Amino acid sequence: MSVSGLVVVDKEAGWTSHDAVARCRRIFGQRRVGHAGTLDPDATGVLLVGLGRATRLLRFLTALPKTYTTDIVLGTATSTLDASGEVTGTYDMSQVTPESVRAAAEALTGEIEQVPPMVSAVKVGGHRLHDLARQGVEVERAPRPVTVYRFDVEPDPDRPGVYRAEVECSSGTYVRVLAQDLGMALGGGAHLADLRRTRIGSFGEAEARTLDHIDLDAVLTPAQAMRDLDHVVVDAAVAASIRTGLPLDRVPLGAAGEGPWAMLDGRGNLLGVYEATDTDRIRPAVVLTGA
Question: What is the set of active-site residues?
Answer: 40
CB 220 within 8 A of CB 8: yes
Sequence-distant (≥ 6) Cβ neighbours of residue 26 within 8 angstroms: none
Indicate the SS3 state at residue 101.
helix
Which sign, positive or negative, has the C-alpha torsion 100, 170, 62, 138?
negative
Q: How many angstroms separate the CA atoms of 278 and 249, rounded?
A: 12
Sequence-distant (≥ 6) Cβ neighbours of residue 97 within 8 angstroms: none
Closest by Cα among 273, 240, 212, 216 to 63: 273
